[in-house]
Amino acid sequence: MDYPVTPAVRVLRERKVEFAPHLYDYEERGGTRRSAAELGVDEHAVVKTLVMETDARKPLVVLMHGDREVSTKGLARALGVKSVQPCEPATAQKHTGYLVGGTSPFGTRARLPVYVERTIFELPKIYINGGKRGFLVEIEPRVLRELLPVEEVSVAI
């Protein structure tokens, strides 16, 4: 299968991570519901990469189940900050080097702290963005721990 060689794919290859590439027709605002339907997988196993920032404008990444939302209040409490909110798309792109809708936690331009919803590690496989809109990689969740500076949180709604 021909798939894009993004910074995320380069990181996975360099670190000898086994992954299965999945391409699908990207749709603006289709989100994880769309990609899960296209790939015929449970939306709970599709993990979204969200770029957020604290009230002090410190950027961070949150990895969340596709069928759940992030409690920004809960996340702010977990981080010991006043508030957390999603970054503007241009700001998110500046921090990660990826377009919104194609953001991968791997191979980001800046090294950002990554907060992972704890229950993601209970899944046998996850589908996470490979660094381009319409491109997911299927990996084992433990890869997140092996490649990223992750901290587990329980902030799903």
pLDDT digits (tens, 9 = 90+) for 126-135: 999 999 999 9
pLDDT digits (tens, 9 = 90+) for 44-95: 999 999 999 999 999 999 999 999 999 999 999 999 999 999 999 999 999 9
Query: Tokens in use for 152?
Result: 């587990």
Range of the domain at 95: 7-153
Burial of 128 (0-12, 13-18, 19+ CB in 10 A): buried
Q: How many domains does the chain have?
A: 1
Task: Judge whether 79 lies within some domain.
Answer: yes
Say whether pLDDT at 1 is over 80. Answer: no
pLDDT digits (tens, 9 = 90+) for 96-143: 999 999 999 999 999 999 999 999 999 999 999 999 999 999 999 999
Are 48 and 63 in contact by the 8 Å Cβ rule? The answer is yes
Model pLDDT, residue 29: 86
Task: Judge whether 1 lies within some domain.
Answer: no
Cα separation of 52 and 61, whole Å? 6
Are 33 and 68 in contact by the 8 Å Cβ rule? The answer is no
DSSP one-letter code for 23 = E
76-88 in b/e burial notation, b at 16+ Cβ within 10 A?
Answer: bebbeeeebeebe
Q: Which residues contact 45 (CB under 8 A, 6 or more apart)?
A: 36, 65, 66, 123, 125, 126, 127
Task: Judge whether 37 lies within some domain.
Answer: yes
Task: Judge whether 138 lies within some domain.
Answer: yes
Model pLDDT, residue 107: 98
Say whether pLDDT at 30 is over 80. Answer: yes
Residue at token pair 């999945």? 22
Task: Judge whether 2 lies within some domain.
Answer: no
* CATH code of the domain in which 144 resides: 3.90.960.10
Taking the CB of residue 20, how many other CB atoms lie within 10 A of it?
Answer: 12
Task: Judge whether 124 lies within some domain.
Answer: yes
Task: Judge whether 14 lies within some domain.
Answer: yes
Cα separation of 96 and 54, whole Å? 16
